[in-house]
Amino acid sequence: MPTFRTAQQICDHGFAPNEQLPALEAVAARYAVALPPALADLIDPNDPHDPIARQFVPDAAELDHRPQELSDPIGDDAHSPVEGIVHRYPDRVLLKLTPICAVYCRFCFRRETVGPGKATALSAAALSAALDYIRSRPKIWEVILTGGDPLVLSARRLREVMKRLAAIEHVKVLRIHTRVPVAEPARLTAELVRAIKVKGKPTYVALHINHPRELTAAARAACARMADAGLVLLGQSVLLDGVNDTPQVMSDLMRALVECRIKPYYLHHGDLAPGTAHLRTDIATGQDLMRALRGRLSGLCQPTYVLDIPGGYGKSPIGPDYLARTGSNGAAHFVVEDFNGRRHHYPPAG
Ligand code: SF4
């Protein structure tokens, strides 16, 4: 089965009804479409609410743009001093090598810039300029390769970039953000894994996974190849309506990640990307889910629930909060809530 890249292919293969074709063509004209076989195989075409289809099959609802939605919801552009670099926090930068992904998520916060015909891949000259920028700023401790999806690049190109980054003395940590292990697990060959594992500098791989079904046997094997090679795996998930917004699904997802040696890192609140209102939840739903996880799952399975503040102000944890200050005049008295919802004074009343 090929990767489906057009609205026509999506309808022809039964992932959307034919009468939606004109609307889906309008969606595909604006936002890139790619549904690779590894994910298409997971979709139950008879389930109108299939959580895999909701994430990857274009939907006419994407034409509904809300006033509060932003073309650059997390403010990358405001922090891009040279092509390919986003420098939002003092000690780390994003390095965007390519605008191409193995799959195009319908809620992507970079949907206006990812895909063929959007931004161009970083040229050799632009990459050298980006590396010069990093080299000349000793406060940059970590470089995060993001995208597009860096793991769509060849092992040769990745090896070259990783080696050049690792050679910068003050860069101590490298991180790669990717969806390839679930979208195209066969790409994670031993050669590609060797290419991203550089000597002397730890490499973290943050995997974007939103539903436990994405962790197929092939995806688990790809994760195992990375973990066995000494790469540290982190999980990033986006909270999505109808995909993972129930305690059962979210618990299953977090446990599945940990079983694959992927430490849940962030649960992102859905960004205000254009045409994604049908997939966003409210923050109260996210906080209730986090409380449900706290009550029933190991500490290893707890992500931090974060909001990327629109406008480029960075991420903030958004609760829920278990601690409330009581008393007055600066007395350090608190009430802390346990995982059963019971409240306790701290320090305890003597
Ligand atoms: S893989 Fe990442 S960058 Fe690519 S479409 Fe999905 S969320 Fe966006």
DSSP secondary structure string for all residues of 76-119: SGGG-SSTTEEEEETTEEEEE--S--SS--TT-TTTTT-STTSS
Q: Take atom 5 of ligand 1 and give the residue whose Cα is closest.
A: 104
Q: How confident is the model over 306-325, as pLDDT tens digits?
A: 999 998 899 999 989 999 98
Q: Give per-residue pLDDT as tens, 218-266.
A: 999 999 999 999 999 999 999 999 999 999 999 999 999 999 999 999 9
| 271 in contact with ligand 1, CB cutoff 6 A | no
pLDDT at 270 (0 to 100): 97
Which of 114, 205, 279 is the pocket-test mutation for ligand 1 (most atoms within 8 Å of CB)? 114
- Is residue 102 predicted with pLDDT exceeding 80? yes
Place 330 in a pLDDT band, splitting at 50, 70 and 90.
Answer: low
How far apart, in whole angstroms, are the C-alpha atoms of residue 251 and residue 235? 13
CA of 163 relative to ligand 1 center, distance in Å: 25
CA 112 to chain centre: 16
| Catalytic residue annotation | 88-89, 92, 101, 105, 108, 110, 271, 308, 315
The pLDDT, as a whole number, for residue 350 is 66
Q: Alpha-carbon distance 338 to 348, whole Å? A: 14
pLDDT band per the 50, 70, 90 thresholds, residue 22: very high
pLDDT at 329: 64
* Mean pLDDT taken over the chain: 95
Q: What is the distance between the alpha carbons of residues 73 and 111, in angstroms, rounded to a whole number?
A: 10
**For 127-158, what is each residue's pLDDT tens digit?**
999 999 999 999 999 999 998 999 999 999 99
Percent pLDDT > 70 in the chain is 99
Instruction: Name the residue at shortest CA distance from atom 6 of ligand 1.
Output: 105
Among 103, 110, 176, 187, name the best residue to mutate to test ligand 1's pocket (greatest count of ligand atoms within 8 A of Cβ). Answer: 110
Ligand 1: which atom is nearest the Cα of residue 101?
4
Instruction: Say what the pTM is.
Output: 0.95
98, 105, 145: which to mutate for ligand 1, most atoms within 8 A of CB? Answer: 105
Cα of 106 from ligand 1 centre, angstroms: 9
Q: What is the pLDDT of residues 264-288, one digit of tens each?
A: 999 999 999 999 999 999 999 999 9
Cis peptide before 347 (omega within 30 of 0): yes
Mean pLDDT of 14-34: 97
Q: Does the beta carbon of 110 sit less than 6 angstroms from any atom of ligand 1?
A: yes
The DSSP bridge pattern shows strands 142-146 and 92-96 to be: parallel
